[in-house]
Structure 1
Amino acid sequence: MAIKEPVGESLIPPHREGQDLSLDKVTFGVAAALAIAFLLWGTLDSDGMGTTTGDLLGWLETTFGWLFILVSASFLLFSGYLAVTRYGNIKLGPDDSEPEFTTFSWVSMMFATGMGIGLMFWGVAEPLTYLTATDASSIPPGRGDPSTPDSARVAMEYAFFHWGFHPWAMYAVIGLAIGYFAYRKNTGNLVSGAFGPLLGRRATEGPGKAIDVIAIFATLFGSATSLGLGALQITGGLDDVFSTGESKWLTVVVIAVLTTCFVASAVTGIEKGVQYLSNANAIAALLLVFFLFVVGPTVFILSTFTESLGGYLTHLPTMSFRTGAFGGSEFLDAWTIFYWAWWISWTPFVGMFIARISKGRTIRQFVVYVILVPSVVSFVWFSILAGSAFDLQLSGAKDLGAVLADEGTESALFATLREYPLSSITVVLAVFLVAIFFITGADSASIVMGMLSQHGEEHPMRWLVIFWGVAQGAVAAVLLFSGGLGALQTLVIIVAGPFMLVICAMCVSLMKALREEPYESTLPSRVRKAVLHAQRYDSVENHSVALTALGADPEEVISTPDEDERSSGARRRPEGP
């Protein structure tokens, strides 16, 4: 059997051959126009926008909540299937490609981009809300009275559920599809590039451009709302340290500083700014949680992690398919379905970025590291931060539930840190982490929007990256003043409805392309090399027999391939006698 070319020529859009990767005027123009239109709506009529988007989101959750639940679980099953079957041996790139980044930098970048800012914001607040809430919309199924050990167990299990396997599986499926087609099929780093097997040439025309515009829209406004929320938490941290008080102007200054930082990082490229900041994030986060683990309730934290992980894995099938048909729909609508929609709205940006940094990895490596490793890190994070808060709450040392109710979500982390030694240092470190996590995510978003606006070019033009970076800061600042930040967040989540169907189609397209892969490409690397060697040896032997029969000396005609020919699989063609 002969080794086939791993790149399927039929799936490569003709325009990629020798294409001028200049600005995609249609995609960029439409995305920019839509951004300005929705920004004006949120600024001039924030109340109307809030009412409209709130009603639409309520209808979406009530009518299609079951579909969000079913599809999210399907993404996890699909990812697992690809990892354990022979398709897991296929590389995101040619068979001889190698990873561009070290494993530590790779994991650090995907984690900082995918969830870093969210874990800082919700690491204490979310489980604490589940533990102390009296409103039905924040009481998870199975929880009894507030602030009891049984309630703490259920609260931690649902925190694991919302930040564990499911969201990372959503990122994995879209990242796999984009990375596979971008680096193995040469379609460009675009969301639309994954639709070649389904749309053909239309993937590069109107339908494909519409998909990329939606991806830019979700990325811009999703990042802008996170920038606004992150700035509010940083302002809360500054108030905790310096007693600055609440001020919109201070928050705008924070947004301006963050915007300057992440634009400067983005223009240096992924290989420098993003990688260095992500590594710094990982080290700083490890320092914070290790310190809290040591000075906090260490034994309680270890017990919390062990029991919560066991409960999460035990109840995962039930939680994964619970729709609220028999009660508990208030919580599912407010938290689970809301989260699934929010993660889906972030998949274009995070999926594209993870695909960009994963060239040369196998599908199995991709799934294991994108789903399992960040999930375990999230479990450890919640166990240490929320476990420390739970110990204070359950022992009666500090009523953090009252802090959460009176001072807001952004104060929960700082109030917890204040109860442990060296709080002045850990609070400052937490503020630093919030800032750096967001800078890492926002500069990645700027690069991703630049790629989408420039036909999938890995290194988009600098002015384009700067434009989208400044746009994120401007949107966040304007909507913060107008009060439209929450409405815009709801609007972005609504985009998740149609985009969920887009991701489903991407899975079908990916599976169709994988089935067309040569069988040899699905073999483990060592087995594939052995097959190549055997084929080369068999070919030389056949030539020797033929040349001997024709009266030629095989030793004079057939020479051993040199090192370059071995590495490329090339063989010298024997000349006739």
Structure 2
Amino acid sequence: MKKFTKVFIISLIISLVFIVWGVLTPQSLADQTAAIQAFLQVKFGWFYLLSATAFLVFAIYLIFSKYGKIKLGKDDDEPDYSTVSWFAMLFSAGMGIGLVFWGVAEPLFHYYEPPSGNGETVESARASLRYAFFHWGLHPWGIYTVIGLSLAYFKFRKGAPGLISAIFRPLLGDRVNGPIGILIDVIAVFATVFGVATSLGFGAAQISGGLSYVFDGIENTKMTQLIIIAVVTVLFILSASTGLNKGIKYLSNINIVLAILLMFFLLFAGPTNFIMDVFTQTLGSYIQNLPMMSFTLGPFSETRQDWIQSWTVFYWAWWMAWAPFVGMFIARVSKGRTIREFVLGVLLVPTIFGALWFSVFGGSAVFLDRIEGLGLYGIMTDPENGTEIALFALLEQFPFGVIMSLLAILLISTFFITSADSATFVLGMQTTNGSLNPPNGIKFVWGIVVAASAAILLYTGGLQGLQTASIIAAFPFAIIMIFIVISTIKALKEDYKINK
């Protein structure tokens, strides 16, 4: 293996160009990328919705198909990780920081500004949780399933390199080793670098917001956020140097324990019966309305159309931008599992956990605002506070609020470390011809690039522009994913014939 592949060099140059652009003229980056994103969302919103739903349908089909018993590996391979550790790692990589950041905020936004009708009503309260379930449920994990399954299948069963381009061999043959393959892998790296960098920026903002909310002497400033990024960068690089079986595995298990502790505390300290009623009813409503929500674009209502483009279409593009990262990581830790086991685990467990999370945190927030008249939404939307304050403003209303806020900060920090750690590992794989154990030097380079991207763009205000840029990368990657499905089906058919 060459130390520096073409994918590594090209991806690094493109990453640095965007970072420099964001530093020198952040407004220009934000304006240009926002214009492109707006065009894609308006003109191709239908494409994002149809694609995301098609990927979910494909994943569900595999559960019941004749291919379900095929192993992601040789027939006698056993899983490398226990089911608990496996779930902890895929969940931590997939949605850790996002769930903590949006668990309170998103349902509140939907309650006050619903997709249709008036806010602060019974119907908007129902819709607020239903759409939170929708945006963080089966669709994103269906997208991750397509990439993760295909990568694991071709890597562990077919012996192909752990690269997204390698999935295309049944369609392209040896041409995957040429410019087409390089282009596919570069797009995947681009989406990964900036998708993770922006999420880390949001994580740093929430840690800073939490510390300033709990401790009077700490201010939620850009300098505080930069210090947080610097400290966490050192920690995740140390974690990355220990390898997959130590750093990421142990931290992922810690994440799950902390998340469950925080969730169950609020479940029993908060309006327990209300939360469980909300969970039960919203889960049923989500399942019942899933087909309708999956295809709704609101062409007859400009307000509804704008809402769907701002939330649903944006989310579907965001999950596709994250798909190379999460898909490659869960593929790496899923060797030895059957296709049926893989799809059921990846689809159902995180979806149910996420639904319970939003019921506990979002349900409590809506309860306090609707029933108690607390005004969390006003606190969250105050320019002096920001969305990152929502979780801590909620926890403050319950016993041991300070302790729980400190636990939440610790949880965000460990999610931050595991996401960055996982990202350096995945980027190392993507830029070293799919090596399952990329050199520490390569991982450190990507760790510094990701951390520097988050820090510089957070400081200059270009974070939004770079987030938009990563979502733009989701458009060509959605097309790539369509062909991944076709290529995977072709390979599975041949595999089934041979082993019939």
How high is the TM-score relative to the length of structure 2? 0.97
| 1:205-244 Cα deviation digits (max 9, x unpaired) | 2111111111111111111111111100100001011121
- Please tell me whether the aligned partners of residues 147 and 393 of structure 1 are also in contact (alpha carbons under 8 angstroms): no
Shift of 1:147: 2.1
1:447-466, aligned counterparts within 5 Å?
447-466=425-444
1 CA distance for matches of 2:456 and 2:274? 44
Partner of 1:316: 290
What letter is aligned with 1:469? Answer: G
What letter is aligned with 1:75? Answer: F
Tell me the SS of whatever aligns to 2:436.
Answer: coil
1:172-183, aligned counterparts within 5 Å?
172-183=145-156
Residue 305 (str. 1) matches residue 276 (str. 2): no
| 1:129-180 Cα deviation digits (max 9, x unpaired) | 11123xxxxx223xx3322332111110000000000000000001111111
Partner of 1:106: 86
Partner of 1:85: 65
Residue 193 (str. 1) matches residue 173 (str. 2): no
1 CA distance for matches of 2:439 and 2:40? 38
2 CA distance for matches of 1:457 and 1:182? 10
Residue 235 (str. 1) matches residue 221 (str. 2): no
Structure 1 or 2, whichever has the larger Rg, is: 1
What letter is aligned with 2:350? Answer: P
Partner of 1:363: 339
What letter is aligned with 1:343? Answer: W
Give the total of aligned pairs: 495
Partner of 2:484: 506
Residue 341 (str. 1) matches residue 287 (str. 2): no
1:153-192, aligned counterparts within 5 Å?
153-192=126-165
2 CA distance for matches of 1:23 and 1:398? 57
- Please tell me whether the aligned partners of residues 90 and 521 of structure 1 are also in contact (alpha carbons under 8 angstroms): no
Structure 1 unmatched runs, 5+: 1-20, 134-138, 523-577
Tell me the SS of whatever aligns to 2:68.
Answer: helix
2 CA distance for matches of 1:147 and 1:422? 29
| 1:344-389 Cα deviation digits (max 9, x unpaired) | 0000000000100001111101110001110000000000111111
Tell me the SS of whatever aligns to 1:124.
Answer: helix
Partner of 2:108: 128
- Please tell me whether the aligned partners of residues 67 and 496 of structure 2 are also in contact (alpha carbons under 8 angstroms): no
What letter is aligned with 1:330? Answer: D
- Please tell me whether the aligned partners of residues 23 and 453 of structure 1 are also in contact (alpha carbons under 8 angstroms): no
1 CA distance for matches of 2:142 and 2:177? 27
Partner of 1:437: 415
Q: Check 1:114–1:122 CA distance in 2 against 1; reply closer, same or farther (3 A cut).
A: same
- Please tell me whether the aligned partners of residues 403 and 412 of structure 1 are also in contact (alpha carbons under 8 angstroms): yes
| 1:422-460 Cα deviation digits (max 9, x unpaired) | 001000011111111111111001001111111101000
What letter is aligned with 1:170? Answer: I
2 CA distance for matches of 1:158 and 1:405? 20
Partner of 2:474: 496
What letter is aligned with 2:203? Answer: G
2 CA distance for matches of 1:34 and 1:411? 34
Q: Which moved more, 1:403-412 or 1:109-118?
A: 403-412
Partner of 2:363: 387
Shift of 1:317: 0.4
2 CA distance for matches of 1:514 and 1:145? 49
Shift of 1:463: 0.7
Residue 274 (str. 1) matches residue 248 (str. 2): yes
- Please tell me whether the aligned partners of residues 451 and 457 of structure 1 are also in contact (alpha carbons under 8 angstroms): yes
Partner of 1:553: none
1 CA distance for matches of 2:35 and 2:249? 41
2 CA distance for matches of 1:41 and 1:348? 24
- Please tell me whether the aligned partners of residues 190 and 456 of structure 1 are also in contact (alpha carbons under 8 angstroms): yes
1 CA distance for matches of 2:233 and 2:184? 27
1 CA distance for matches of 2:499 and 2:125? 48
What letter is aligned with 2:128? Answer: A
| 1:520-569 Cα deviation digits (max 9, x unpaired) | 746xxxxxxxxxxxxxxxxxxxxxxxxxxxxxxxxxxxxxxxxxxxxxxx
2 CA distance for matches of 1:373 and 1:288? 18
What letter is aligned with 1:260? Answer: V
2 CA distance for matches of 1:449 and 1:28? 9
| 1:276-296 Cα deviation digits (max 9, x unpaired) | 000000001110011111111
Tell me the SS of whatever aligns to 2:135.
Answer: helix
Shift of 1:519: 4.0
- Please tell me whether the aligned partners of residues 195 and 322 of structure 2 are also in contact (alpha carbons under 8 angstroms): yes
What letter is aligned with 1:275? Answer: K
2 CA distance for matches of 1:106 and 1:279? 9
How high is the TM-score relative to the length of structure 1? 0.85
Partner of 2:270: 296
2 CA distance for matches of 1:424 and 1:246? 17
- Please tell me whether the aligned partners of residues 23 and 455 of structure 1 are also in contact (alpha carbons under 8 angstroms): no
Partner of 2:457: 479
What percentage of aligned pairs have identical amino acids? Answer: 47
1 CA distance for matches of 2:440 and 2:27? 37
1:419-430, aligned counterparts within 5 Å?
419-430=397-408
What letter is aligned with 2:346? Answer: V
Shift of 1:22: 3.2
- Please tell me whether the aligned partners of residues 95 and 521 of structure 1 are also in contact (alpha carbons under 8 angstroms): no
- Please tell me whether the aligned partners of residues 36 and 472 of structure 2 are also in contact (alpha carbons under 8 angstroms): yes
- Please tell me whether the aligned partners of residues 5 and 433 of structure 2 are also in contact (alpha carbons under 8 angstroms): no
Residue in structure 2 matching 1:45, options 25, 31, 34: 25
1 CA distance for matches of 2:53 and 2:457? 34
Tell me the SS of whatever aligns to 2:118.
Answer: coil
Residue in structure 1 matching 2:232, options 258, 266, 272: 258
1 CA distance for matches of 2:54 and 2:76? 31
| 1:453-498 Cα deviation digits (max 9, x unpaired) | 1110100011111111111111111111211111000010000011
Tell me the SS of whatever aligns to 1:89.
Answer: coil
Moved beyond 6 Å, runs of 4+:
none
What letter is aligned with 2:423? Answer: A
Shift of 1:24: 4.2
Q: Which moved more, 1:48-57 or 1:392-401?
A: 392-401
Partner of 1:532: none
Partner of 1:549: none
2 CA distance for matches of 1:32 and 1:245? 34
| 1:395-422 Cα deviation digits (max 9, x unpaired) | 1341111112112210111100000010
- Please tell me whether the aligned partners of residues 140 and 158 of structure 1 are also in contact (alpha carbons under 8 angstroms): no
Q: RCO higher in 1 or 2 (8 Å CA, sep ≥ 6)?
A: 2
Residue in structure 2 matching 1:56, options 36, 56, 65: 36
